Amino acid sequence: MNNNTEHNIKPVIAVFSGGFDPITEGHLDIIRRSALIFNRVIVAVGTNPEKVELFSKSERVELIRELIKGIPNVEVQGYEGLTIDFVKSVGGTVIIKGVRDSVDLRYELQQANTNRLAGGVETLLMLTGDRYALTSSSLIKQVATMGGDVSSMVPQRVAEKLKEKISSMKQEKRASFQENDAS
């Protein structure tokens, strides 16, 4: 008797927001688990003005679309501005956030209270799986930039894209230095 229509409960639209620069196995784990709970999950790709982006927003959106294409109730959208405004614009009622440790928990609790007060939107904090607890996009970028192996932290496609992007950046940097030396 757990039928939403019998109880006049609307389908729940949940939004999993983040920078996803790059998307990690931990992010994908939360997306998959969220898809089992909610009728519709929107992966909202935003921009953090405090961070330097490796991949453009459109690159991140396309990469995530490739990775989740077999999950029918999940979609990916890029957005600008405040997450709460985006959530309201798509009819979302829940924000999903991954929590790795007590630092994440403290930050996300503050955000959750603000979002509930500002927009009546609830936040679901999902614990990351143990094997993803020490993984972050920032760490992955750092390791990959230094030539380290990130294959256990990101899908193969993401590891390939990281190598391509970092190689391209290094070539551009070399070319720039050569131009400056020639001047």
| 70 within a domain of the structure (yes/no) | yes
Binning pLDDT at 50, 70 and 90, where does residue 49 land? confident
Among the listed residues 42, 29, 43, the one whose alpha carbon sits nearest the alpha carbon of residue 127? 29
| 137 is annotated as an active-site residue | yes
| 100 is annotated as an active-site residue | yes
The pairing of beta strand 40-45 with beta strand 74-78? parallel
69: left (phi over 0), alpha (psi -120 to 50) or beta: alpha
Do 90 and 47 contact (CB within 8 A), yes or no? no
Q: Is the pLDDT of residue 13 over 90?
A: yes
Marked catalytic residue, from 51, 106, 157, 163: 51
pTM of the complete model: 0.86
| 142 within a domain of the structure (yes/no) | no
Q: Is the pLDDT of residue 1 over 50?
A: no
Q: What is the CATH number of the domain that holds 28?
A: 3.40.50.620
| 63 within a domain of the structure (yes/no) | yes
Marked catalytic residue, from 17, 27, 97, 161: 27
Question: In this predicted model, what pLDDT tens digit does every residue of 84-122 receive, in sequence order?
Answer: 999 999 999 999 999 988 888 898 998 898 888 877 899
Alpha helix locations (H) across the chain?
25-37, 57-68, 83-89, 102-119, 137-145, 156-182
Q: In which domain, by residue range, is 45 found? A: 13-134
Residue 127's SS3 state is strand
Binning pLDDT at 50, 70 and 90, where does residue 38 land? very high
Number of domains in the chain: 1
Q: Is the pLDDT of residue 4 over 60?
A: no
| 161 is annotated as an active-site residue | no
| 174 is annotated as an active-site residue | no
| 176 within a domain of the structure (yes/no) | no
Among the listed residues 94, 31, 98, the one whose alpha carbon sits nearest the alpha carbon of residue 68? 31
| 3 within a domain of the structure (yes/no) | no
Lowest mean pLDDT among 8-22, 55-69, 82-96, 162-176: 162-176
Marked catalytic residue, from 32, 65, 88, 100: 100
Binning pLDDT at 50, 70 and 90, where does residue 48 land? confident
Q: Tokens 């996300």, residue? A: 108
Marked catalytic residue, from 17, 137, 141, 161: 137
| 163 within a domain of the structure (yes/no) | no
Q: What is the pLDDT of residue 181?
A: 61
What is the percent of the chain where pLDDT is above 70?
90
Question: In this predicted model, what pLDDT tens digit does every residue of 129-171 receive, in sequence order?
Answer: 888 777 889 899 999 999 999 999 999 999 999 999 998 888 8
Q: Which residue has the higher pLDDT, 5 or 42?
A: 42
